[in-house]
Homo-oligomer: A and B are copies of this chain.
C-alpha cells in the first residue's frame, strides 16, 4: 500500500472537527442526534481563531497594492460543504480586513482554489458551489506535496484534516530485518518506538515537502491555516480512542488470519497511513524547513462537550463510513464486513477504557506565515 489515501476520506461523511471517534449516543446534551449543533460550535471555535489571525496578522492591503487579485486555496479540500463553508468564511474575514485597511478602495477580485488528489470528486464539489458566490473558482488536481500553483500567486492557504495522511508508508514496516517491522499490527499504536519513529520520519518528510511547495506558491507575508489530528507531546497513541480502536482492528484481523479467512502476507502488507503529529514535533518541522514562521500553534479540544457514553454500534458505523476505503484496497468485501461486525463487541468490552481516554487536546491549530 504505497499510494496516498484520499485526503477526503474522513470529510465525505464527517465534518473536519468531528473525527470518527467522537460520536456519542443517546438524545441528551452529549448525544449524536444533537451533534450537528455541537459540530457547529466546534467549527465556530476554529472560525473565531482564523478570524483573529486574519484581522491581527494578515496584511491584505500589501497584497492588493501589488495585485488586483487575492487568491485563497484549500489544500486537501475533499468534497461537500465543509470546504465551501470554510473558504467562504475565510474570504469574508479577508474582505473585512481589507475594508478596515483600505476603507476608500475598491474591493480586489477574489479567486478560491480547491486542491485535492486528481481522483477527488471535483464534479460534486463544483456542482455544490453556491450560484451567487462573489468569487471566482478553480479546482486544482494534484498532490499537495508538490507545487500545484504558480510561483508567488497565493495569499492564504487553508489545510484542514489532511496533513495526517502520509504520502506513502515507510518501507521498514514490511521489512522482516528491520526493528521497525510492524508484524501483527496495522498502525504505530502499541508498537515499538522504531515503528513510531518510522511513521514520524515519513510525516516529517511529507511536511517538509508540503512546506516547500507552499513556500513556492505563497507570497511573502502570506498566511497558512492548518487544522488537524494531533496529540499532546509525549502522550502515547494507545491513550486515545482512535489508538484503542486501531489496536482492536489489528487484533480482529490477526484472528481472521488464524481462521484462514485472511492471508498472513496480506495482513503484513497492510498498515494505516495515518500520523497524528504532536505540536512540538510540528513546530520543529516548520522551523527546520525555515520558510515559514509559526505565528500560532496550539492544541484544541475538537469538541469539549463530547463527553458521555459512546454508542458503540453508531460509532462503528461512522468509523466504517470514514475508513472503509482504506481497507477495501486490501481486503475483500466479506472480510471488511467481518472486521466491522466484530468491532462492535470488541469495543464494547473496552468501553470503560475508551471512556477514560483523554479526548481533549487532540486537534492542532496552527497559523504559519511565509517569510
Contacts and interface: CB of A to CB of B under 8 A. Distances in A.
Interface of A: 68-69, 109, 111, 113, 118-119, 121-123, 126-127, 129, 136-142, 147-153
A122 B139 contact: yes
Contacts of A137: 140-142
A113 B136 CA distance: 13
Copies assembled: 2
A141 to B, nearest CB: 4
Most chain B CB neighbours (cut-off 10 Å) among A142, A147, A152? A142
Given A118-B129, A129-B141, A141-B129, A136 B123 contact: no
Contacts of A122: 122-123, 126, 139
A138 B139 contact: yes
A256 B109 CA distance: 52
A123 B125 CA distance: 10
Most chain B CB neighbours (cut-off 10 Å) among A68, A149, A151, A153? A153
Contacts of A136: 140, 147-150
A131 B139 CA distance: 17
Nearest to A124: B123
B138 A140 contact: yes
A68 B151 contact: yes
29 contacts: A68-B150, A68-B151, A68-B152, A69-B150, A69-B153, A109-B150, A109-B151, A111-B150, A118-B126, A118-B129, A119-B127, A121-B123, A122-B122, A122-B123, A122-B126, A122-B139, A126-B139, A126-B141, A129-B141, A136-B147, A136-B148, A136-B149, A137-B140, A137-B141, A137-B142, A138-B138, A138-B139, A139-B139, A139-B141
Contacts of A113: 138
A259 B65 CA distance: 69
Most chain B CB neighbours (cut-off 10 Å) among A113, A123, A140, A153? A123
A132 to B, nearest CB: 13
Given A69-B153, A109-B150, A136-B149, 8 more contacts: A68-B150, A119-B127, A122-B126, A126-B139, A129-B141, A136-B148, A137-B142, A138-B138
Contacts of A147: 136
A149 B111 CA distance: 8
A69 B137 CA distance: 19
Most chain B CB neighbours (cut-off 10 Å) among A111, A141, A150? A150
A127 B118 contact: yes
A128 to B, nearest CB: 9
Nearest to A67: B150
A57 B262 CA distance: 65
A23 B140 CA distance: 36
Nearest to A140: B138
Question: A-B pairs with the 3 shortest C-beta distances?
Answer: A69-B150, A138-B138, A126-B141
Most chain B CB neighbours (cut-off 10 Å) among A119, A129, A138, A142? A138
Contacts of A68: 150-152
A277 to B, nearest CB: 28
A111 B154 CA distance: 14
A107 to B, nearest CB: 13
A54 B302 CA distance: 55
Nearest to A217: B136
